[in-house]
């Protein structure tokens, strides 16, 4: 029984450490945009910018509310999956396997002071493993999506200025 208790404590401590992890930082293939916007305002701005740029919010998930219902307080954290049917059909024409990457996600995180950060993997980075199969057409499509995601991100973070 003591071993079980120690194992549970070790798991809880390791999980608790993940809750206190630091902010998202620059890494290969990512765009990271810290803002002065409150987390909730940035989430709303990303959704509005997505719609106004011809894309749709396909999925949305975040652990914050569920964690709170379990007694854990964690900063705001939202993953927003963005795509549209036109791009889906075009991706599938180049590589069936590449479609597993859709929707491509924006990631909104909250800093301790309540400000939001917008992050995302560029579509060209996301689709890179499929370029041997999808060829130039998939590469060009990914570049088009890079521009669309950059436009959405810029519109979202500039919406309060």
CATH superfamily of 25-158: TT1751-like domain (3.30.310.70)
Name every residue whose Cβ is closer than 8 Å to that of residue 128 and which is 6 or more positions away in sequence. Answer: 29, 142
Q: Report pLDDT for 22.
A: 78
Q: Report pLDDT for 117.
A: 97
Q: Report pLDDT for 159.
A: 82
Cis peptide before 103 (omega within 30 of 0): yes
Q: Report pLDDT for 11.
A: 46
Q: Report pLDDT for 99.
A: 97
- With a cut of 50, which residues of the chain have pLDDT below it? 4-18
Per the document, the length of the chain is 161
Residue ranges per structural domain of the chain: 25-158
Query: How far, CA to CA in Å, does 123 sit from each of 55, 71, 85, 88, 119?
Result: 14, 36, 16, 13, 12
Residue with tokens 């749709």: 56
């Amino acid at each position: 029984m003591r071993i079980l208790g120690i194992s549970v404590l070790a798991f809880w401590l390791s999980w608790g450490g993940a809750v206190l992890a630091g902010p998202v930082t620059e890494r290969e293939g990512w765009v990271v945009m810290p803002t002065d916007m409150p987390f909730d305002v940035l989430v709303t701005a990303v959704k509005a910018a997505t719609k106004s740029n011809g894309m749709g919010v396909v999925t949305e998930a975040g652990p914050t509310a569920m964690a709170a219902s379990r007694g854990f307080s964690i900063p705001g954290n939202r993953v927003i999956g963005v795509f549209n049917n036109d791009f889906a059909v075009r991706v599938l024409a180049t590589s069936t396997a590449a479609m597993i990457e859709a929707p491509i996600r924006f990631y909104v995180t909250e800093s301790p002071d309540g400000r939001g950060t917008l992050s995302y993997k560029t579509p060209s980075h996301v689709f890179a493993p499929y370029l041997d199969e999808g060829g130039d057409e998939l590469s060009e499509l990914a570049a088009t999506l890079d521009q669309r995601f950059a436009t959405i991100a810029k519109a979202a973070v500039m919406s309060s200025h």
